[in-house]
Structure 1
Amino acid sequence: MVVKDSKSLFSLIEQFDPNNKDHLSHLEKLTMIYPNFHLLRVYYLKALQKQKVLSFDKNLSHTSIATYNRELLYQFIESDLTPKKSTKKNRKIQKGKSKKNISKNIIKERNIVQKIKNDDSPSKTLKFSEWASYLNSKKASSKKNNNLHNFQLIDDFLKSTERRIPDKDIKNKEDLSEKSWSSNDELMTETLAKVFVKQKKFKKAIEAYQILGLKYPEKNSLFANQIKKIKKLDQQKNS
């Protein structure tokens, strides 16, 4: 499929398959030509995520800054898309709608650009789990600077645990995990714990709920039940 006009662009979007490498390639070229076309960037981001491209985190940061509703973007990235089979009949029906939608998208893009100017979103590249937790911590505007500091701490912790295998006979002088979890503020949310569970990082999820239990003792029983469920999932994974 060669995208050379609006008709072929709409066809690409209607048949969009996030696992299709050709679709990813076309969207990458289009985002370079039209960097402010937000709709293209969202579909491009979805393809990057499904195909596990390394530049996903960087593009996620840029797209989340430009989007007018981060929660909708998060839901779209988390959703499972089923490619639609295009037919001549469907194309005729959708043709009229597509022409109307493009003018609406152009107006929406202008509004998005205006909102970007007034947005206080972080400009640094965030990992997907960090960005998801940011949606909740955004409400605590008075703690924004402290949260950004903790994003970096968690980033360092995840990098150290995923890319480095520690020597059993040598104890690390600096425990990055302890440093990461030492700050009990709005950053440590249930959303982040749930993201860890979804990523099957059960140990981190348990640590998150333990800290939440210390922070909110009135919810201890709730967090304790969550920890039990996570331990069962961990046992099933290892069995």
Structure 2
Amino acid sequence: MVIESATDLFEVLDQFDPNSSIHLKALEVLVDEYPHFHLIQPYLLKAIQQQKHEKFDKTLSLAAISTFDRSLLYSFLENEEPSPSQNTKEIEVPKEEVETQKTKTKETASPTTMRFSEWAYFLQSQKHEEKSKNLEEKFQLIDAFLSKEPSRFSPKIEDKNKEDLSELSWASTDELMTETLAKVFIKQKKYDKALQAYQILRLKYPEKNSFFADQIKTIKRLEKKKD
């Protein structure tokens, strides 16, 4: 079979059978003639996966480079229903063995030696682990910082200016972090930076302006005593 027109091509794609040697040959000829025709790359790869396993890795590399979304390529290769000509028997594998095999593949395999399904799983797990690791490291840094002197972050509320603690329940993370930072600056006697922090809070949270204004007055009094 020779693909000589768009009609021939769409006929092959509509009736595509990855186990058909005729379709495989026609697609190979077309790719040789038009190597940058990306539409047919996944179909050729699927046919090679079923018939010419020795060419699969090389063709996979080319198809993966030309595919804008590799997850679609993965779904096309791995998730389609098997052809009726493939008489396969489902074998139940114990869950423990599956988990062991996943762990073994994850620890020992590299992207250059994996099958496509393993390679896709590897990429997805690497991204997930990297995000989890970055998030975990951030939390560890925060915990380490807070554990050094926890009393440093205990708010001191004067009798004349007792704030309703229920307001803290809806305060944003930015507010709490900035106010905590201001308290650290006061403890370190860096009053200029503490004033700057409370000025930022006044602008961002005008509904608590009176509270922040009182804090600013307190800092200014401390600054005068320092001088």
Output the TM-score relative to the length of structure 1: 0.38
Q: Which has the higher contact order (CA 8 A, sep 6+)?
A: 1
Greater Rg by CA:
2
